[in-house]
Amino acid sequence: MAPEKVELIFSADQSSYIKTKPLHPSQKSYLLDNHELHIVLNLIPNYELETTLLSFGEKVKIVSPVSLKSKIKQRLNDAAKQYD
């Protein structure tokens, strides 16, 4: 499997933490006008990345790749069903 470009947007209140504690050595980041943090990673998406992203809850939005975005969405939907 080849590394992929993973794009994420972190909430303004989470941005300082992510800047000081990078998720991966390939991390590149910049602040958006609304103080959210846009980061780009170059890696092979895996279970560890998924669990890390899930730990940020509503504080992170996955922009790409679509496959990772879909997988996280499904996992969040499955988790929400536990509370029906």
From first to last of its 84 residues, the chain has per-residue pLDDT tens of 899 999 999 999 999 899 899 999 999 999 999 999 999 999 999 999 999 999 999 999 999 999 999 999 999 999 999 998
Separation CA 37–CA 52 (nearest Å): 17
The pLDDT score that the predictor gives to residue 1 is 81
Tell me which residue range forms the domain holding 39: 4-81
The pLDDT score that the predictor gives to residue 84 is 86
pTM, full prediction: 0.91
Separation CA 21–CA 76 (nearest Å): 24
The pLDDT score that the predictor gives to residue 65 is 97
> Residue 39 sits in a domain of what CATH number?
3.30.70
The pLDDT score that the predictor gives to residue 72 is 97
Q: What's the number of domains the chain is made of?
A: 1
